[in-house]
Structure formats: structure tokens, C-alpha cells
Amino acid sequence: MKVILAIFLVIITSIVIYFGKTKDEYSMNSINPSEREAAALNAIKDSYGSENSEYNTNLFVTHHIDELESSYWEKLLGTKKPSPQQVLEILTLQGSSDDNQVFDFTLPDDVTNYIISVRFNDAGEIDDISMES
């Protein structure tokens, strides 16, 4: 009788736990912030040079290469004028929002007000990359 009662309690507890979870906890698209951050950063790097990135990633990189002092680049990268790829490699996460649906990246040391923002859709796919201030 004790064994039956124990099994019954395990079943009831499992049911309560199962139905107490939200839809996202069972979804294949559940959010893993570190994976999303890495995917967002890779999307930024991959987008550089494309026609679709003229006013976001491309503009961010070229603007900062041209506008920031050579001493900044020397301090971080050991060169007076970095390549676009070097700039993309030092982007840092400024923050995320909307339950890890949006990730904002910028340059280290608060040298700019500009960010590159990556937005994910509800399916967990990258929906948009934009440059914002």
C-alpha cells in the first residue's frame, strides 16, 4: 500500500510540475541568452560588407574607424587604423532587452553612443540588425 501511495504521489507531482510550466519551457525555441548573444554577434560579423548592411553594420564600422582617435585603436588593437574585421571582433554586449529578444553591441570603453542592435523574432530567428543611437 505504501508503494502504491508513493507512486501516486510521484505521478501527481509530475502532473503539477508539467502543467505548471509555461509554453516557452517546452518550446524548441526556448531562449538561451548566451546562445542568442553569440548568434547575434555572428550575424553582425556576417552582415558586414553586404548591401543590406549599408546603414547598419557597414556604417557603424566605417564611421568609427574614421571618427575615433588613433590612440583608441592603438590601445585596443595595436594599430592606428584597424580593419573592419578588427572592429567587429572587439564589439561588446551593452545589454539585452525584451526577454532576450534584442541584443545591443557597441565598442568598449564608452567611446560612442551608437549601438548595433540585433532583434530576434518569436521563432528564435534573427529578424533585424540596426544601428541606433
Question: Is the pLDDT reported for residue 39 higher than 70?
Answer: yes
Q: What is the pLDDT of residue 25?
A: 41
Q: Residue 68 is placed in which grid cell? A: 575615433
Q: What is the pLDDT of residue 59?
A: 97
Q: What is the pLDDT of residues 13-25, one digit of tens each?
A: 556 555 654 444 4
Question: Is the pLDDT reported for residue 27 higher than 50?
Answer: no
Q: What is the pLDDT of residue 42?
A: 97
What span, in angstroms and rounded, lies between the C-alpha atoms of 94 and 117? 10
Q: What is the pLDDT of residue 17?
A: 59
Q: What is the pLDDT of residue 95?
A: 95
What span, in angstroms and rounded, lies between the C-alpha atoms of 99 and 36? 11
Q: What is the pLDDT of residue 32?
A: 87
Contact 91, 104 (CB under 8 A): no
